[in-house]
Amino acid sequence: MQAPAETPSCYRHPKRETYVRCVRCDRYSCPDCLRDAAVGQQCVECVREGNRGLRQARSVFGGRVGATSWVSYTVIGLCVLAYLGELAAPGVVDRLDALGTGLRSPDGHYFVDGGHVPPGWTQVGIAHGEWYRLLTSAFLHQPPGGGFGVLHIALNMWWVWTLGRQTEQMLGWVRYAALYLLSALGGSVLVFLVAPTTPALGASGAVFGLAASYWVFSRRLGHDMRAANQQTLYVLVWLVISAGMTSWQGHLGGFLAGGVTAVAFAYAPKARRALVQAAAGVALFALLLALVVVKTSTLT
């Protein structure tokens, strides 16, 4: 008498009976281990193996396309957390803003550097080794009761939410992060060069860089320039209006740095796009640091 045939089971779940096979590897697979394919169904391992050979989608400027604007959300989150830190410990602003050179008294108060250092006082600022201020200042904003108050961070984060996310989708995560940080750095460097005793802060420099880059990218892609021109006009008008109220140096520095970076990213030749973009970013970074070194030598 012939023995009954053994019932086939899933290759990943031996206790599950199944009569369905993967169209690619011909192994028996249960419904939990099958995925719909163009023809029939494939097991999860064949699907994973097939995806490895697919080229990941790239943006028009060479960056990896992502459905979520993680860098923009991270910037907003860091700025909000920093603002809460300012409210809890107001002294954070004096320690992390873009002060070029100043004095800290023995009791912890900050003053403009007048060239003479009283006994027990300390020279502080970018010119005295606190280079981190060049970037930390871009994540701080004016606390309530000072300048624009809460409106300062609200407006900047609104621009990052609207303009930043669009730019990030054009560039991809890495290139957008480089553009944002170079714009922020450019704003801080111009403040240091022109007004080293001004304790500037805010993401405005990076935001102005985003505005410049959006105009460059829109022109490069052949978009209708009416919206981009109108937005750029608003930015330039605000640059003039804000000259007497906030750090116009930071705004102009960010605008110039963002524009230069955007031109390099947008018009890099396709054959050597990544190399040219990286070289341009490194060159601008080196130039900004060289300007800081030269200015530091004159102040110290």
Note the pLDDT tens digit of each residue in 18-74. Answer: 888 887 787 888 888 888 876 678 888 888 777 665 555 666 777 776 668 899 999
- Please, which pLDDT band fits residue 120 given cuts at 50, 70 and 90? confident
Greatest Cα-to-Cα distance within the chain, rounded to the nearest angstrom: 109
Dist. CA 205–CA 202, nearest whole Å = 7
Beta-bridged to residue 17, according to DSSP, are 9
pLDDT(157) > 90 = yes
What is the spatial order of strands in the sheet that 102-104 belongs to? 110-112, 102-104, 122-124
Is there a contact between 43 and 22 (Cβ–Cβ < 8 Å)?
yes
pLDDT for the residue 69: 87
Note the pLDDT tens digit of each residue in 215-253. Answer: 898 888 887 777 767 777 777 777 666 655 667 889 999
What is the mean pLDDT of the segment spanning 191-208?
Answer: 91
pLDDT for the residue 206: 94
More confident residue, 77 or 110: 77
pLDDT for the residue 220: 87
pLDDT(1) > 60 = no
Where are the domains positioned within the chain? Answer: 1-54, 70-299
Give domain 70-299's CATH number out of 3.30.365.10, 3.40.50.720, 3.30.450.80, 1.20.1540.10.
1.20.1540.10
Is there a contact between 262 and 179 (Cβ–Cβ < 8 Å)?
yes
pLDDT for the residue 122: 87
What is the mean pLDDT of the segment spanning 202-217?
Answer: 91
Is there a contact between 97 and 199 (Cβ–Cβ < 8 Å)?
yes
- Strands (E) located in 92-249: 102-104, 110-112, 122-124
